[in-house]
Amino acid sequence: MNCRVVVEAAVPVYDVETADEAVRIAISKTGEMLNPDLNYVEINMGSRNCPHCGEELEPAFIAADESLVALELEMTVFNVERDEHAARIARKEIGQRLENIPLEVLEIEEIEEEGQQEDEETSVAEESEADEEGDDTVEEGRNDTDDDVDSNEFRGDTDEDILPEFEELIDE
């Protein structure tokens, strides 16, 4: 299974005056630490809430021209056994590059594989078509392989016949 893991990082930033400046510097600093090895990690501005009233706060806390910025780092982990396995892999991979920056796993979401979903849809459609065709062949009692050979001869669908038509289309 594949999982999307979101990890919160507390990134320290020095010599800043505003929260916006702190966030920009923190994203840049984190990007430099992760790239080029982990250029597939998406870096987003984190969110913080007041523990008492639940009010949303800015992602950067500034005191004495120093800031602690909450960032969310998102990555996809492939071929894992369970959610905890995905979380450990993400924390290890990101944590190796972000030394002395605390990380906390915020979210783990299982991703349905595109190929798997398409394969399931295709196999269901093929099975229903095969059932319908199977019913026809049993009722008519014919051999499909003989019909395919005979029909190709009558239609003239040989490689020699197909290629000139294709070349004519290219010329036009």
CATH assignment of 2-111, among 3.30.70, 1.10.287, 3.40.50, 3.20.14: 3.30.70
Give the separation between CA 26 and CA 67, rounded to whole angstroms.
Answer: 9
Q: What are phi and psi of 156, to 5 degrees?
A: 80, 25
Question: CA-based angle 134:139:145, to the nearest 5?
Answer: 55
pLDDT (tens digit, 9 = 90+) per residue, 89-125?
999 999 999 988 999 999 999 988 765 555 444 444 4
pLDDT at 2 exceeding the cut of 60: yes
68 phi and psi, to 5 degrees? -120, 120
What pTM did the predictor assign? 0.63
pLDDT digits (tens, 9 = 90+) for 17-49: 999 999 999 999 999 999 888 888 999 988 888
As a whole-number percent, the residues of the chain with pLDDT over 70 amount to: 65
pLDDT tens digits for range 88-98: 999 999 999 99
- CB 82 within 8 Å of CB 101: no
Burial of 24 (0-12, 13-18, 19+ CB in 10 A): middle
Number of helices (H), then strands (E), belonging to the chain: the values are 5, 7
Cα distances (Å, whole numbers) of residue 52 to 8, 31, 49, 56, 57: 21, 33, 9, 11, 12
Q: What is the DSSP letter of 79?
A: S
